[in-house]
Amino acid sequence: MASSFKIRKIAELLDARVVCGEQFVDNEINYAFASDLMSDVLTLESEQLVLITGLTNMQTVRTAEMADINCVVFVRGKKVTPEMIEVADENNTVLIECQYSMFRTIGVLFESGVNPIY
Amino acid sequence: MEFSYEVEGGNFAKAGNAASGVKKVLKQLNVDPKIIKRIVVALYEGEVNVVAHAYKGNVLVDIDTNRIYIKIVDEGPGIPDIDLAMQVGYSTASAMVREMGFGAGMGLPNMKRNADIIDITSKVGEGTVVELTTKLTS
């Protein structure tokens, strides 16, 4: 049985900043997936997923839109651009900036009980 | 209903405009979200292919009550060996495309997986036409 986490909790665990979609932080996520390759993200079938990535460009936000991903965590201190926020806003996507490395981010979430997809 | 979208070769900032537009229309038509996802993922991959490989392209979308038909036409280098291009992991993408999070040789196979029918025709030195047809009800 998958345990679910509020997006707010994810941000707290990672000591990270919600930069877009603050009004959706009480929505729940069931799984996490980490990748800088959007092609892999586009093959996933899971729902209520948080994507963890170091890839900061429009394609990340577009991929989230097409794949019905409602929360993206950008790791390694990467900054989200105003254009990305515009598209994310339109699609009710929560964007989070995190200072941790991808390894640490994943480690913290995994240890806290966030489920992998596979 | 018919819609048409232009796709610019090399312009990653606009890749996804067509898929985003189609997603909004399908949502308004109350199509099952799982079916919408298949359709827009396939179209988005197609747009990325045009941006990554061609000079310019056009997406034609035709929606009726039962199915969606999408025709992606580009002017570009064409695909010399379509069977090879359909193999997972085969890619001719540039380093720039890889920096954008694509170029792993998964686009066409993922389009095939997410469409009911896929037809690809291509002429080397002229361009490629990809046609996708998917039923709107399961």
Neighbours of A54 (CB within 10 A): 18
Spell out which residues of chain B touch residue A62, defining contact as CB-CB under 8 Å: 15-16, 19-20, 44
- State the CATH number of the domain containing residue B6: 3.30.565.10
Sequence-ordered list of residues with C-beta below 8 angstroms from that of A95, at least 6 positions apart, any chain: A18, A19, A20, A21, A61, A71, A72, A74, A80, A84, A85, A88
Place of tokens 């380093």: B95
Residue type, B48: V
Domain count, chain B: 1
Which tokens go with A86?
């515009």
DSSP lists the bridge partners of residue B56 as B8, B75
- State the CATH number of the domain containing residue A73: 3.40.1390.20
Residue B62 has pLDDT above 80, yes or no: yes
How wide is the angle at C-alpha A91 spanned by C-alphas A30 and B28, nearest 5°? Answer: 105
Taking the CA of residue A78 and the nearest CA in chain B, the distance in Å comes to 15
The residue segments making up the domain with residue B7 are 2-135
Q: Tell me which chain B residue has its CA closest to the CA of residue A38.
A: B101
Inter-axis angle of helices B33-53 and B17-28, to 10 degrees?
Answer: 160
Distance CA A112, CA A116 (A): 12
Which tokens go with B73?
């036409």
pLDDT of residue A2: 59
Residue B87 has pLDDT above 90, yes or no: yes
The residue segments making up the domain with residue A9 are 5-116
pLDDT in tens, chain A (118 residues): 457 999 999 999 999 999 999 999 999 999 999 999 999 999 999 888 999 999 999 999 999 999 999 999 999 999 999 999 999 999 999 999 999 999 999 999 999 999 999 9
Domain count, chain A: 1
ipTM: 0.92
In this complex, is the C-beta atom of A38 within 8 Å of any C-beta atom belonging to chain B? Answer: yes
In this complex, is the C-beta atom of A60 within 8 Å of any C-beta atom belonging to chain B? Answer: yes
